[in-house]
A and B are shown apart, each in its own frame.
Chain A
Amino acid sequence: MEKSKIIVFLDSLLKRPSIQNADVDAIRDEVINGDVLFSNITIKILTILGAFISAGFFFLFLGIAGLFNDELGQLISGVISLAAALFLFKSNKGLFWESIGVMLSMVAHGSIFVSFLQMDLNLSVIHLVFICISIGLIIFADNFIQKMSSVIIIFVGTTVWLHDFHLWGMVPVLSGFVAVALTYYTLKETEFISASRLNNISFAPIRLGLSLSFVVLIGLGAINWMFFDVESYYIPYVGSILILGCLGYILFKTFKKFDIQNGQLYSIVMLLLLLPLINNPGIIGSVFLLILGFSAGYKIDFSLGLMGLIYFISRFYYDLDYDLLTKSYMMMGTGLLFLIAYGVFLRLESRTKLMKS
């Protein structure tokens, strides 16, 4: 978006009487001169890749130099790296120093993790420490990538606990709770960004972190628990019910927003159509993410939901224990149902247009 168009849009926004006590100079400075608007996806990906490769080689150096042998030294160097990273994030010196901060943070996490492993600490205790570190980084680190990564560490790392306590089957339940958090957070966007400065700058990275965590969790939940040598009970339907609840809420709010008659009925019908898939949180989760992404205008969520839908549906039919003929009848029947629904929808649309005219 060219600077002239940005200025026109900003000026039109600032003229709105609903905006009170605006620090116009600070707004113009951040919008027009800030790195954010001139930094596109290429620059963000370069930053992440560079930090990742640099951290990898640094770790290789530490390993070969034998610096992993001293667990206390590792821990101290990890803490110092973390402190340095935080300092760089807070100092706001620009994208260059922030990318060094990201690299130091990756090194810090790796060093602390290795030192705890060498101290023979339980994985659950290690994860608890990382949850505390991540919460601290979310609050204090003014960096998009750091906040987003911290959210992912909290939720995806919790699967380590589940594995340790032989509760791998609870992964779909965890994904259900993440879905609830993601729905609440996304739909309350305007309230969060207007609440406080911390909430405002944390909103986007936390939301994206929740989204990516949800995708990883429904992927992990779809992995056959038999691969893991744990005794676990597989209760995917609890997670699916939570996700369906969130989906129902989004649909209900959407129908209410556009004043559609019988909106509650349509929402219930759609949920009932998905009910047979309750043992497959992958498909239900993908539909949820697709609808949530579309309703809130987030293309990443929409795309992830669409890709997930294609993958999980393919996987569903592949895993079905029926012969090809039965599967073919099921798919043709499902396809025909959707095509009939398409025809009905077109008819309803044209009837509504006729009534309006």
Chain B
Amino acid sequence: MKRRIIHIVAKNSDWLSKDILKVFDDEHILPALSQWKSLVRYLLLAIGVIFFVVGVIFFFAFNWDDIPKMTKLGLIQGLIIVFSLLAAFGRWGKGVQEILLTGAVLLIGVLFAVFGQIYQTGANAYDFFLGWTMFSLLWVIARNSLVLWTLFLVLCNTTLILFFNQVQTTLHLDQIIILLFALNGIVLLSRILLQKTDFVSDKGKWFNYLLTLFVFGLLVNGTIYEIFDDRMVLGFIGVLIGFPLLYFHGHQQKDVFYLGVLGFSSIILIISLILRGVKFESFEVFLLISLFVIGMVGFLVQYLLKLNRTWYGKK
């Protein structure tokens, strides 16, 4: 933002280049020496650790067949214990602790995979992911880190999808998608309500954004399937519940992101309805849709700009 303002001032004045450069330094737009030192430190440490760890993994991968069963399992269990203890009692910063704990959660999956490989248990992918998800829950709740919650949600969704693919196979694809929307929607709603009651920190907007995109991506996807399958009940209910909540939340948070997602999702659904209604029989519908999209997006952009000005353009 500061950079943009400096550009505007330079455009409308006689401002010498060397003076502008001084402002860049004064306003910390360019990094100071301390920031360069931090970059070098983090890069050297991160590259060193990653290369070394991957090298160790490759070493064990090469010798995997020759390693005894107990050593294989003991190795991975040992790593899980070491990572967890270091995360709990180590004197590093929060970032390093999170990396260690994320590594421990990933290693749980590796442990199950190795167990299944050694003993040929005949478990399917659903059983594997179910076990991984259940055994990760404790770490996720204990640490309460957004990175771990993201990983946990990925595992939950993968488990559910595999459940409907391999165990309970009676549901249609669109019903599965709408169900996933509902479950993930409940997670998003719970987080928002907990944030309002200050039970959960307000930080981590990126998590809310990511979850919103995922939830409404599922809703739009599932509803489109239902539109073309002439079975619009669940999707329609999802839209009736989800869209007003998103609108209300966007206005409460004064964040155009949520309203942008809402607007764009609406445009996509209306296009699907038009295409379904016309059944691709006339080509003029594409011209109509083209004009509709540009008109609606233009209107949406103007509306969001106006909202931004109203919310943040106060004196």
Range for the number of chain B residues in contact with chain A:
35 or more
Complex-state Cα separation, A32 to B16, whole angstroms: 24
Complex-state Cα separation, A1 to B58, whole angstroms: 48
Instruction: Tell me if A227 counts as interface (CB < 8 A to partner B).
Output: no
Instruction: Tell me if B273 counts as interface (CB < 8 A to partner A).
Output: no
Range for the number of chain A residues in contact with chain B:
35 or more
- Give which listed residue, A4, A58, A61, A190, contacts B24 with CB less than 8 A: A190
Complex-state Cα separation, A191 to B7, whole angstroms: 11
Instruction: Tell me if B141 counts as interface (CB < 8 A to partner A).
Output: no
By a CB distance below 8 angstroms, the chain B residues around A47 are 297, 301
Nearest Cβ distance between residue A146 and chain B, in whole angstroms? Answer: 15
Instruction: Tell me if B242 counts as interface (CB < 8 A to partner A).
Output: no
Given A43-B260, A99-B301, also A339-B52 (CB < 8 A): yes
Complex-state Cα separation, A23 to B15, whole angstroms: 12
By a CB distance below 8 angstroms, the chain B residues around A3 are 312-315
Nearest Cβ distance between residue B269 and chain A, in whole angstroms? Answer: 13
By a CB distance below 8 angstroms, the chain A residues around B267 are 50
- Give which listed residue, B16, B18, B29, B48, contacts A339 with CB less than 8 A: B48
Complex-state Cα separation, A323 to B89, whole angstroms: 38
Instruction: Tell me if B229 counts as interface (CB < 8 A to partner A).
Output: no
By a CB distance below 8 angstroms, the chain B residues around A294 are 31, 36, 39
Complex-state Cα separation, A232 to B284, whole angstroms: 47
Instruction: Tell me if B257 counts as interface (CB < 8 A to partner A).
Output: yes
Nearest Cβ distance between residue B298 and chain A, in whole angstroms? Answer: 4
Complex-state Cα separation, A328 to B53, whole angstroms: 9
B285-315 CB mask vs A (1 if < 8 Å, else 0) is: 0110111011011111110110011001111
Instruction: Tell me if A261 counts as interface (CB < 8 A to partner B).
Output: no
Complex-state Cα separation, A131 to B297, whole angstroms: 30
Contact A194 B15, beta carbon cutoff 8 Å: yes
Contact B19 A18, beta carbon cutoff 8 Å: yes
Contact A95 B302, beta carbon cutoff 8 Å: yes
Nearest Cβ distance between residue B27 and chain A, in whole angstroms? Answer: 8
Instruction: Tell me if A80 counts as interface (CB < 8 A to partner B).
Output: no
A1-38 CB mask vs B (1 if < 8 Å, else 0) is: 11110100110011010111111001100111011111
- Give which listed residue, B7, B9, B59, B298, contacts A203 with CB less than 8 A: B7
By a CB distance below 8 angstroms, the chain B residues around A26 are 12
Instruction: Tell me if A170 counts as interface (CB < 8 A to partner B).
Output: no
Instruction: Tell me if A121 counts as interface (CB < 8 A to partner B).
Output: no
Contact A345 B294, beta carbon cutoff 8 Å: no
Nearest-neighbor residue (CB-CB) of A325 within chain B: B62
Given A46-B263, A60-B286, A341-B48, also A297-B15 (CB < 8 A): no
Contact B51 A331, beta carbon cutoff 8 Å: yes
Instruction: Tell me if B210 counts as interface (CB < 8 A to partner A).
Output: no
Contact A96 B299, beta carbon cutoff 8 Å: yes
Contact B308 A19, beta carbon cutoff 8 Å: no
By a CB distance below 8 angstroms, the chain B residues around A34 are 8
Contact B297 A9, beta carbon cutoff 8 Å: no
B247-282 CB mask vs A (1 if < 8 Å, else 0) is: 000000000110010011001000000000000000
Given A190-B21, A339-B48, also A54-B293 (CB < 8 A): yes
Given A38-B312, A49-B264, A60-B286, also A334-B6 (CB < 8 A): no
Instruction: Tell me if B56 counts as interface (CB < 8 A to partner A).
Output: yes
Contact B36 A258, beta carbon cutoff 8 Å: yes
> Quick one: which of B1-23 are within 8 Å of A by CB?
1-23
- Give which listed residue, B5, B56, B315, contacts A13 with CB less than 8 A: B5
- Give which listed residue, A39, A191, A297, A341, contacts B31 with CB less than 8 A: A297
Nearest-neighbor residue (CB-CB) of B298 within chain A: A96
By a CB distance below 8 angstroms, the chain A residues around B263 are 46
Complex-state Cα separation, A65 to B288, whole angstroms: 13
Nearest Cβ distance between residue B155 and chain A, in whole angstroms? Answer: 23
Instruction: Tell me if B40 counts as interface (CB < 8 A to partner A).
Output: yes
- Give which listed residue, B33, B291, B308, contacts A258 with CB less than 8 A: B33
Contact A43 B4, beta carbon cutoff 8 Å: no
Instruction: Tell me if A307 counts as interface (CB < 8 A to partner B).
Output: no
Complex-state Cα separation, A329 to B9, whole angstroms: 55
Nearest Cβ distance between residue B71 and chain A, in whole angstroms? Answer: 17
B27-51 CB mask vs A (1 if < 8 Å, else 0) is: 0011101001101110011011111
Given A61-B284, A345-B40, also A53-B293 (CB < 8 A): yes
Given contacts A47-B301, A50-B298, A193-B10, 5 further A-B contacts (CB under 8 A): A95-B298, A96-B299, A194-B16, A200-B11, A332-B52
30 CB contacts below 8 A, A to B, read A4-B315, A14-B9, A16-B19, A18-B19, A19-B13, A22-B12, A23-B12, A27-B8, A30-B8, A30-B12, A31-B5, A36-B8, A43-B301, A43-B304, A58-B286, A61-B286, A64-B283, A96-B302, A99-B301, A258-B33, A294-B36, A297-B31, A323-B62, A327-B58, A328-B56, A331-B55, A332-B56, A335-B51, A338-B45, A345-B44
Residues of A at the B interface (CB closer than 8 Å) are 1-4, 6, 9-10, 13-14, 16, 18-23, 26-27, 30-32, 34-40, 42-43, 45-47, 49-51, 53-58, 60-61, 64-65, 94-97, 99-100, 103, 190-191, 193-194, 197, 200-201, 203-204, 254, 258, 294-297, 323-325, 327-339, 341-342, 345-346, 349
